[in-house]
């Protein structure tokens, strides 16, 4: 049974990091003193759940965490600095700090270093998240001890709801566009002006027209999706944004 360490100080260790091709040692004191930090720890870099869900969502929500007074969001894994830096680059996770726990000292100090020899991983961290204020653990979300790689409570949304149960999450927005499309330019401008982040998918670079037909009966560009809902083109998006502004003002 993993021990919940809420109210206790984090382990005092030294993280061996690589910055600008140089070794840089960072102590727990240097990283956490005087700051409010959200940490999420996971079994390994480049592994499926970690790469597809855990890291991307935390990276997306960093601005929202900052609105809640969080100074830094940190990802920890029992991997070396070279692997962690390359993983961060491949994930485009520029908002999250990646800390290498290469020898597993931090994870061991948390009581969450587990054996994964059956997978050829050796000793790795159990998946968990925690809120640390000035080096003291305020809240922990530890995944249940069950077979496999459970991912139920250490996600970014759960941590954000702990910080503020009434917090509004950012929109998930995708724009299907094509090169040389003025209406696509307008739609992206509308979203940018509204302060809404979006992911752009460009025709014949990121998808083909078959993909668009699979998700929409509309074949004009752009096609904007927000939180799973098809909004439509730039005119429909403008209407949606006007209604949203009216709701927010009410």
Catalytic residue IDs: 50
Q: Per DSSP, what are the bridge partners of residue 99?
A: 76
Question: What is the total residue count of the chain?
Answer: 250
Buried b / exposed e along 201-239 (16+ C-beta atoms within 10 A): bebeeeeeeeebeeeeeeeebbbbbbeeeebbbbeebee
Nearest Cα to Cα of residue 98 among 115, 117, 80, 74: 74
Is there a contact between 201 and 195 (Cβ–Cβ < 8 Å)? no
Q: Per DSSP, what are the bridge partners of residue 229?
A: 226
- Name the residue with tokens 């000793």: 123
Burial of 39 (0-12, 13-18, 19+ CB in 10 A): buried
Residues 6+ apart with CB under 8 A from 224: 173, 174, 175, 176, 187, 191, 198, 230, 231, 232, 233, 234, 236, 237
């Amino acid at each position: 049974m993993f021990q919940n360490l809420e109210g206790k100080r984090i382990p005092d260790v030294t993280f061996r990091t690589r910055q600008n091709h140089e070794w840089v040692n960072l102590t727990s004191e240097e990283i956490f003193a005087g700051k409010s930090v959200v940490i999420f720890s996971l079994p390994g870099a480049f592994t499926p759940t970690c790469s597809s869900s855990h890291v991307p969502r935390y990276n997306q929500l960093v601005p929202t965490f900052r609105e809640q007074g969080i100074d830094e969001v940190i990802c920890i894994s029992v991997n070396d600095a070279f692997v962690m830096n390359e993983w961060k680059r491949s994930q485009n996770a520029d908002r999250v700090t990646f800390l290498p726990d290469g020898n597993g000292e931090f994870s061991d100090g948390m009581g969450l270093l587990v054996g994964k020899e059956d997978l050829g991983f050796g000793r790795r961290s159990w998946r968990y998240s925690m809120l640390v204020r000035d080096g003291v653990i305020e809240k922990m979300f530890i995944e249940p001890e069950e077979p496999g790689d459970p991912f139920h409570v250490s996600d970014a949304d759960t941590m954000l709801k702990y910080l503020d149960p009434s917090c509004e999450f950012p929109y998930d927005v995708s724009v299907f566009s094509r090169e040389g499309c003025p209406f696509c330019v307008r739609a992206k401008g509308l979203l940018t002006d509204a302060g809404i982040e979006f992911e752009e998918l460009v025709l014949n670079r990121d998808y083909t027209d078959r993909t668009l037909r699979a998700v929409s009966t509309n074949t004009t560009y752009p096609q904007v999706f927000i939180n799973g809902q098809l909004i439509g083109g730039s005119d429909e998006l403008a209407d949606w944004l006007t209604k949203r502004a009216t709701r927010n003002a009410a």
